[in-house]
Amino acid sequence: MRVSIQEAIATLSSPLKEAMEQLCASPEFDATISEQEYENLLEVSGLADKDLRVALLPVAAAYSIAPISKFYVGAIARGASGRLYFGANMEFEGVQLNQSVHAEQSAISHAWLKGESSLKDITINYSPCGHCRQFMNEINGADTLNIQLPDRDAKLLHEYLPEPFGPIDLGIEQPLLVPVNHGLTAEEDDALIQAAVSATNRSHAPYSHNLSGAAIRDIHGNVFSGMYAENAAFNPSLPPLQVALIAMNLADVALKDIQDVVLVERANAVISHLQDTQAVLEALNPDIPLGYLAI
């Protein structure tokens, strides 16, 4: 069964438990751990680096939303900055299973949303599925990315994904996480639309060229944005709404608190996220209004 973040922290051994309780109680806590904070956790716990990351996986998994599988997975991505980003799987009842978010996708998107341009390693509860191995192969620095599992030595991603097929095979020189600004604009001055446009300008869509972004406003007026993460194998691509939902979930905001959503995408593109976005929102709450802008 799913446990709360506080319950997950309570399972940690002292003094790590007390240090994490203090860290997570801070109003500034955002499901990330800075390099300095992590160094402090290493010191107080006396654990080795890999052992500490594995020990923290239950805290990441506490963000999991898994009403279908009841299988709660956590992931922790470490960015080039040294900051650690929590992630967890998300499932949505009433829509296709391919709309689900895997824990690795969540942690990677979390790092991307907060400005990381590459990752050093990712720590996961369970061996990554083929879908996630392919998704990770899209990111900047995939050839040096380390995968850490419990009770195993770290391995490079390409040891889990030998003879990989990725962006370079399709002539793409800018992988996922590399900062971009596509320069799109919209005349509308609505804050939610502008947030979705900003996300669209950060999107990664080198195969379909359907630059797209989404923005969610909750009942308290907070806005969470997400951008499209396309993949060389197509199917592991992560839609913009899901990336925005990841941001909202990791801010500890419930899905029931969504007030309205805007989707922005390129006009006349060869694909569209509109129908899938409508389907997910309909399943979450049929009363959620969806704004749509093609630019």
Q: Please report where in the chains the tokens 């990712």 appear, as a residue.
A: 122
Tokens of 225: 């944005």
Q: Write down how long the chain is.
A: 295
**R_g of the chain computed on alpha carbons:** 18
Nearest partner of 263 among 284, 239, 236, 233, judged by Cα: 239
Q: For this structure, is 104 an active site residue? A: yes
Tokens of 104: 């690795």
Identified catalytic residue from 21, 35, 104, 138? 104
Three-state DSSP string of the chain: CCCCHHHHHHCCCCCHHHHHHHHHHCCCCCCEECHHHHHHHHHHHCCCHHHHHHHCHHHHHCCCECCCCCCCCEEEEEECCCCEEEEECECCCCCCHHHCECHHHHHHHHHHHCCCCCEEEEEECCCCCHHHHHHHCCECCHHHCEEECCCCCCEEHHHHCCCCCCHHHHCCCCCECCCCCCCCCCCCCCHHHHHHHHHHCCCECCCCCCCEEEEEEECCCCEEEEECECCCCCCCCECHHHHHHHHHHHCCCCHHHEEEEEEEECCCCCCCCHHHHHHHHHHHCCCCCEEEEEC
Active site residues: 104
